[in-house]
Chains A and B, each alone.
Chain A
């Protein structure tokens, strides 16, 4: 991912950039060597790029290359990391070997990220920011470049409610950093792009069964291949998941005779149904996906009746996406895409009532978002530049938000809107010399609802010596107020005052170095400042651009790979996120995150062990709560995988929460519970058969 986003140059950055540019220009003039292409010069010190070597080397030269000795042979197959951002990648191989079951599990292992769960949805925290009650609206989640965040809540889903079955994931690319200069809204903290497998990866038919604790099971049926006599390739997959959930959840806050002594009995069930299809033919890709997920909620959040089996949410999302991608030659690429999304949500809240004879009634949320959109992008190389330009436009045909009591029928909210928004962007990556490149970009977005936003970004990538990289990054991103914040009548007052988008300015310095013996070390220092954070004013009960947040921190990553296949990945993150006005630490924001993932072959290369774990330091609960902190904790997961135990059959055994750690996440404003306890140890067996 090599777009750079530049949003409004900060004066210090401007001077710094100018100074660097002056030095670079001086260097170029003195060396008398202005590069006219991105191909490595002879004195290059950039890490190996096979693509460049393929262009440069003649056949006879190939016969002169010394073969590396075995100990350093399995060097990282790094894409030359010229991206003006911090990029982390998790591959399908790691998903299999570490037993990741959801996108949340995958993200939890990555540096700087942490997830929390309240038995309804899974929430992502980035660099210390995870406001309880948000729906991952400050991270843009995409599937093959298709935006998944809706326009009502800006929500993206990362638990079982996520639209793609993790078995279909080829890799997950997380671009950490403000990326609105390319992607516009939602790319506030970064972008998560899930790249799905291609029909060629599936090759035939595959069935999988995953059975585990809490009576959970998942069945998947997938198939892929090419249609004989044509250039079409097809991938189809369907899966069904069901879990009884934790059958016995005790909440002392509800401990009374009328409330089953505080025990939510079999109220944690979940069901999900996923469908995915992809058809490719040369430059065209048609893909479609669908998810329908139901969850019973045991926490009695939002004033619902405790232990009531009727309290549930339903989330559905379906989309169709047609993409045309054409490479003209090595210098130009055109992409055109058009899509349609339908995202709906329903929740049934059984609650108390003075108005009904039974003393109860059912309150319902129903929302629907229908969006049609199109985008186009051109990438053009010219001399030492790589230009990226594009635009997109989205029409929200339906933005419905309803909340009502069913009997007697009474509407608290009945929002029916339509709106349009769009953006244009331009970026250039310029190789100033063989080891210095600069990236600058800007995007202009227009929203019918609030007006416009500009998102610029600037990055400097420098390779001071072999295998080393220094990046200086600055970016500005925004989050548009969503339909819910704009139009939902929280009180009986008229709709809230005009809301502006939230803004984030991020400054980041990254050092990355590859050492002999296949070590990679990366140091990342960051500082971000958020303005105009949209918050619900507890007195007026209206949304307003009120808060500011400031964070400082750093990430250290060490990775080691061995030719035998052993891989060790570790990271430590320090994050100090504060409310900039009061100086108070944010809630649900652990100061320290430490992660470790070890993958190793056992005995033969067909048996693999994947051990991964996280340490999360304590975090503050919401203000005013009795329990001040969610305690620090350490959770580890172990997976054993045998590939081809018989021809075409893989078996894996996963033990989650190996040490049966008791831990809890901070509860949101909707729950009476200050902390939401999580599950203990669980065991899963997965069989995959290919034929």
Chain B
């Protein structure tokens, strides 16, 4: 109000982004992944089945994602956020995020001779090599992402160029899923 009265320009310069907790940034990213990836029809049991995101090892993200997705539709589907605890919990999810190193079991059951159309996201150096699709990495105290296109195609998913534009693309031919 006072600035205007002094004749200074009305629009202030954009302020620097406020810091957020790591789990909040991850939740925002996950929400975006769901928006910018295409799943094949058979990834869902029914045309009006909900989109299910499973989170393993990070209850804060479950809470954050639940808040972000409340009342929203994704590609005309309701969104459910579930917490993955046991080996069975991830079945039915279209997207899974696994915090930490405990991912081989889940990745193994999703890849192999008949891969499932599930977008797997991790936060560990060996995640992509282990068969995962997107991995979070820290750079200069910010959170970035790397994506393995081969694993993406194996899962039958299509990624929007918007997502590829901000990711480090890895297409490592020597990636082999664990036996």
Contacting chain A: which of B26-34, B114-122, B124-132? B26-34
Q: Which of B85, B142, B163 contacts A64 (CB 8 A)?
A: B142
B179 within 8 A of A: no
Q: Does A59 contact B162, Cβ atoms closer than 8 Å?
A: yes
Provide the residues of chain B in CB contact with A43, threshold 8 Å: 12, 15
Contacting chain B: which of A74-82, A301-309, A541-549, A617-625? A74-82
Q: Which of B28, B63, B78, B82 contacts A77 (CB 8 A)?
A: B63
A581 within 8 A of B: no
Q: How far is the CB of B17 from chain A (nearest CB, A)?
A: 5
Provide the residues of chain B in CB contact with A51, threshold 8 Å: 67-68, 70
Provide the residues of chain B in CB contact with A48, threshold 8 Å: 18, 20, 24
Q: A42-B14, A50-B28, A231-B50 are in contact. List 10 more A-B contacts (CB 8 A).
A: A48-B18, A59-B166, A62-B29, A65-B20, A66-B17, A66-B141, A67-B20, A67-B22, A203-B85, A330-B71
**Whose C-beta in chain A lies nearest to the C-beta of B29?**
A62
The dominant DSSP class at the B interface is mixed
A30 within 8 A of B: yes
Q: Does A64 contact B1, Cβ atoms closer than 8 Å?
A: no
**B1-60, CB < 8 A from A:** 1, 4-5, 10, 12, 14-15, 17-25, 27-29, 31-32, 36, 45-46, 48-50, 60
**Whose C-beta in chain B lies nearest to the C-beta of A333?**
B71
Expressed in whole angstroms, the Cα–Cα distance for A53 and B36 within the complex equals: 17
Q: How far is the CB of B13 from chain A (nearest CB, A)?
A: 9
A359 within 8 A of B: no
B158 within 8 A of A: no
Q: Does B24 contact A50, Cβ atoms closer than 8 Å?
A: yes
Q: Does A59 contact B163, Cβ atoms closer than 8 Å?
A: yes
Q: Does A66 contact B19, Cβ atoms closer than 8 Å?
A: yes
Expressed in whole angstroms, the Cα–Cα distance for A62 and B63 within the complex equals: 19
Expressed in whole angstroms, the Cα–Cα distance for A513 and B147 within the complex equals: 41
Q: Which of A32, A33, A67, A226 contacts B19 (CB 8 A)?
A: A67
Q: How far is the CB of A122 from chain B (nearest CB, A)?
A: 32
Expressed in whole angstroms, the Cα–Cα distance for A27 and B2 within the complex equals: 10
**A34-58, CB < 8 A from B:** 42-43, 48, 50-51, 53-54, 57
Provide the residues of chain A in CB contact with B23, threshold 8 Å: 73
Chain A positions near chain B (C-beta within 8 angstroms): 27, 30-33, 42-43, 48, 50-51, 53-54, 57, 59-68, 73-75, 77, 79, 200, 203, 226, 229, 231, 282, 327, 329-330, 333
Q: Does B31 contact A54, Cβ atoms closer than 8 Å?
A: yes
Provide the residues of chain A in CB contact with B70, threshold 8 Å: 51
B144 within 8 A of A: yes
Expressed in whole angstroms, the Cα–Cα distance for A50 and B4 within the complex equals: 31
Q: How far is the CB of A490 from chain B (nearest CB, A)?
A: 50
Provide the residues of chain A in CB contact with B21, threshold 8 Å: 67-68, 73-75
Provide the residues of chain A in CB contact with B73, threshold 8 Å: 327, 329
Q: Does A31 contact B1, Cβ atoms closer than 8 Å?
A: yes
Binary flags per residue of B128-168, CB closer than 8 Å to A gives 1, else 0: 00000000001001111100000000000000001101100
Q: Does B12 contact A42, Cβ atoms closer than 8 Å?
A: yes
- A53-B28 CB under 8 A given contacts A30-B4, A330-B71, A330-B72: yes
Q: Does A63 contact B14, Cβ atoms closer than 8 Å?
A: no
Q: Does B142 contact A67, Cβ atoms closer than 8 Å?
A: yes
- A203-B141 CB under 8 A given contacts A43-B15, A51-B67, A231-B49: no
Q: How far is the CB of B46 from chain A (nearest CB, A)?
A: 7
- Some 30 contacts from A to B, beta carbons below 8 A apart, are A27-B1, A30-B5, A42-B14, A42-B15, A48-B20, A50-B28, A50-B67, A53-B20, A54-B68, A59-B36, A59-B162, A59-B165, A59-B166, A61-B17, A62-B166, A65-B20, A66-B142, A67-B19, A67-B141, A67-B143, A73-B22, A74-B21, A74-B60, A77-B60, A77-B67, A200-B80, A203-B89, A226-B92, A231-B46, A231-B49
